[in-house]
Amino acid sequence: MALLHAATLNPSKLELLSAWLPTQPWAGDVSALEQVGAYRFDDPQGEVGLEAFLLRTGDGRLLHVPVTYRGAPLDGADSALVGTTDHSTLGQRWVYDGTADPVWLRAAATAALTGGHEAELLIDLGKGLERRDPTVRVQGSGSSDAPVPTLDDLSVSVARVVGDPVEGAATVSARWDGGEAVVIGVG
């Protein structure tokens, strides 16, 4: 379950990504960035926010951009820092490229290997929790009884551009209004 807050972020997620993506060689023309959808995974410890965006670029490509939200800097991950944002409920958050964050990688691998799916979204509007439908649904190809090795024993491949091939015997497929593709491979 992903608990969402009715909060403001300054800068917003899209503003952070719009500033960071031009520095990424795989991003292409991000001058007219549009959010198509997003999905979340659960952090079993409940400490790290795990989200992945599908973003349409100015040149028509669809980017898959996983990020993590942390309450403190991630040691040794300065090069993966997307930026910081002020969250009106949680305070300052450090936003990282999810492909460099072991918590996101572990959640992605677990979903692929065990047939897992996106987290249930619950939003706290101040009068109780309300369920929110995801704009992107993901489903792993594995089996619920499959073991999940340590990250050291796995290779996680993420399609940065939707449609690019990923490697791995187990996969995660994403489905959104207007499309479907394999976005994560694990081997």
Q: What does the alpha-carbon distance between residue 147 and residue 33 come to, in Å, rounded to a whole number?
A: 38
Return all residues near 164 (Cβ < 8 A) that are at least 6 apart: none
Instruction: Evaluate if residue 70 carries a pLDDT over 50.
Output: yes
Q: Are strands 2-5 and 121-124 parallel, antiparallel or unpaired?
A: parallel
Domain of residue 119, residue span: 2-186
| Residue 8 pLDDT level (bands cut at 50, 70, 90) | confident
Give the three-class secondary structure for 96: strand
Question: What percentage of the chain carries pLDDT values higher than 70?
Answer: 95
Residue-wise pLDDT for 13-44, tens only, equals 999 999 999 999 999 899 889 999 999 999 99
Domain count, the chain: 1
What digits encode the pLDDT tens for the residues 109-166?
999 999 999 998 887 777 778 788 999 999 999 999 999 888 999 999 999 999 999 9
Q: Tokens 């976005």 appear where?
A: 183
Share of the chain above pLDDT 90, in %: 77
pTM: 0.93
Quick one: pLDDT band at residue 6, thresholds 50, 70, 90? low
Q: What value does the mean pLDDT of the chain take?
A: 92
What per-residue string of b and e applies to 5-32 under the rule 16 or more CB within 10 Å gives b? eeeebeeebeebbeebbeeeeebbebee
CA distance 78 to 101: 11
Average pLDDT score over residue span 63-91? 93
